[in-house]
Structure 1
Amino acid sequence: MNRNPQEEIEGIEEEAEAVYVTLPACTVEKVAAPPDQRFLCFSQYFLPIAVCWLILLVIMGLRIYFATLGQESAVSELMAANRNLTNLNDKLSVLENQITNLTAVNQELETERNNLRGPIQNISRAQCSIDEYGPNVNNVSERQCRPCQKGWELINSCCYLINGPPEEKTWEEAREHCRARSSDLVVIQTQDEQNVLRRYSRNRSWIGLRAEGGRWKWIDGSDLTQSVSYWIDEPSSAADGQCAVTTYLFRWRSASCAERNGWICKKKALSV
């Protein structure tokens, strides 16, 4: 059926009114009232949210405050510790200077002691020599000097110390013993000296003669000559490590320098 435009318009308006009437009332209300509901919701939750944010800001502020306060305290402690270390370092420097000064003083005292040790030893030796060459008899003030020390035998112008059993030494040990007493092993230079020593020595005794480089030499550096030779059996060679030792009647024989025997020391007598 053909309808005019006016009728079509009226039909559309009727259909729209019918749709509007069939809509639920709550829908119309919800559509009509959203702005008021949003305002009411905002009003209800704004205050708690604001309080929460205020508390959070207060907490953050307190944390920042105490953190800053702790840092200041730590800085103060570090500065105090640094001052203490500086004071200790200054004291250590003073102690180091004192130690250096004391070390220098100690070295000076050590040098003075070493310088004094020689004269003291010389005085001790001199006193010992005085006591040995001129003993103080019965505590009298006057001393009577003698050319040889106590225990030494004066033969012509020399002093002899004859050592024998039970004390025995190797040739080197015997020589060291003589040297410690400002003497040395005897060097026999004449027949008369040989004959005189024969009367005093009855034991095997080292003398200052030994083999060196295939030759017999005295300790004064001189060679043994045939004119002064008193071997029992003259050795066929002068092997190194062999020394001369006296036997009964003061005759000589070759023996290992490592053997242990008596010995005879010799030195010049004092002029009295």
Structure 2
Amino acid sequence: YGQLAGCFGILSAILLSDYTNLTTASAALKNTITTLAAENHNLTLLNEELKKDRKNLSDIIEHMEKTGNELNVSRAQWSVEAYCPREAGDRKCNSCQKGWKPNFSSCYAYNDHKSSNWRNWEGAREDCRTKISDLLVVANEKEKVKTISPAIKGITGYWIGLRAVNGKWRWIDGSDLIDRTWIKQHPAEDGHCVTTLTNKGWKSVSCNETRAWICEKKALTL
């Protein structure tokens, strides 16, 4: 009988331990289920937010496309008015806008204001940009010779898109000046830009000085 009681006691202890372990596991499982339920709820909320964001993005894209189309129409209308103005009720198209001189495949604007309205190199370039253009970049000897830079109204030179960068003459399109015979002065230091003037050639001048300037843009192909 004593042995039986001892075995019963051991069995009871084992069962109690198993019960305790099962109770602990059950509690842990309940906590896991609660955590998963909370995460599922959060994911559901996040999914709803993503749906709203997607809808908002779709609306924004649709608005941008509509605005873009309207801008394209406005640009097209601007181009028509700029290059094909009405004259006596009819439209006549030109390769360059009014006030611009055509030459080769480009249009040139000679900003030959009075000296009080001259600009430094950066200011001249900014003016060109407001006209959807940039300072003159000379492609070859023919353009160099044919580009007009008249010495009128006391003008001592016109800014072009050439300046000293790291000891080299460099165009605003990023290319280096190839033909060094076009300007005798060496680009010894940054802060110097180039002016041109008929019968006077090209000259290195401090970019901070004020001069007239030449803007260039592509001509309209008719």
TM-score normalised to structure 1 length: 0.52
The gaps in structure 1 that reach 5 residues or longer are 1-103
After superposition, residues 36-75 of structure 1 pair within 5 angstroms as: none
Q: Which amino acid aligns with 1:155?
A: N
Query: Does 1:129 find its partner at 2:79?
Result: yes
Query: How far has the Cα of 1:153 moved from its partner?
Result: 0.3
Structure 2 counterpart of 1:225, from 168, 178, 184: 178
Give the greater-gyration-radius structure (CA): 1
Aligned-pair distance for 1:211? Answer: 0.6
What is the distance in 2 between the residues matched to 1:135 and 1:258? 38
Alignment of 1:165 onto 2:113: yes
Deviation for aligned residue 1:235: 2.5
Q: CA deviation at 1:151?
A: 0.5
1:143 aligns with 2:91: yes
Normalization by structure 2: what TM-score?
0.62
Describe the SS at the equivalent of 2:193: strand
SS in 2 for 1:245: strand
Cross-structure match for 1:212: 165
User: Which of 206, 211, 220 is matched with 1:261 structurally?
Assistant: 211
Q: Supply the AA of the counterpart residue of 1:223.
A: D
> CA–CA distance in 2 between the matches of 1:256 and 1:156?
30
- What CA deviation, in whole Å up to 9, does each residue of 1:206-263 have, x standing for no partner? 101001111111112211123551x3xx334431111111235251111121222111
Compared with structure 1, are the counterparts of its residues 143 and 200 closer, same or farther at alpha carbon in structure 2 (3 Å cutoff)?
A: farther
Asked whether the equivalents of residues 125 and 134 of structure 2 are also in contact (C-alpha less than 8 Å), the reply is yes
**Cα pair 1:197 1:250 within 8 Å, conserved:** no
Instruction: Give SS of 1:258's match.
Output: coil
Structure 2 counterpart SS, 1:148: coil
Aligned to 1:191: 141
CA, structure 1 residues 200+156, in 2 after alignment: closer, same or farther (shift >3 Å)?
farther
Query: Within 1, Cα distance between the matches of 2:104 and 2:219?
Result: 9
Change (3 A) 1:180 1:126: farther
Partner of 2:9: none
The DSSP-based 3-state class of the residue aligned with 1:249 is coil
Among 64, 70, 79, the alignment partner of 1:120 is 70
Letter of the 2:85 counterpart = P
Contact 2:149–2:197, Cα closer than 8 Å, also in 1: no
Distance across 2 between alignment mates of 1:124 and 1:223 = 37
1:174 partner amino acid: A
Counterpart CA distance in 2 for 1:119 and 1:170 is: 38
- Report the CA distance shift for 1:210/1:181 in structure 2 as closer, same or farther (over 3 A): same
- Counterpart Cα distance in 2 of 1:201 and 1:150: 22
**1:198 Cα offset (Å):** 3.8
Consecutive unaligned residues in structure 2, runs of 5 or more:
1-52
- Which of the two has greater helix per residue? 1
The residue type equivalent to 2:171 in the other structure is W
Distance 1:250 1:194 in 2: 13
Q: Aligned pair in 2 of structure 1 residues 124, 114: CA closer, same or farther (>3 Å)? A: same
| Contact 1:205–1:264 under 8 Å retained in 2 | yes
Structure 2 match to 1:14? none
Confirm or deny: 8 A CA contact 2:150 2:198 kept in the other structure.
no
Which secondary structure state, in structure 1, belongs to the residue aligned with residue 78 of structure 2? helix
CA distance in 1, matches of 2:66, 2:127: 26
| SS at structure 2 position matched to 1:246 | strand
Higher strand fraction (1 or 2): 2
Shift of 1:157: 2.2
Contact 1:212 1:238 in 2 (8 A): no
Query: CA–CA distance in 2 between the matches of 1:149 and 1:201?
Result: 24
Q: How many pairs align?
A: 165
Per the alignment, residue 130 of structure 2 pairs with: 180
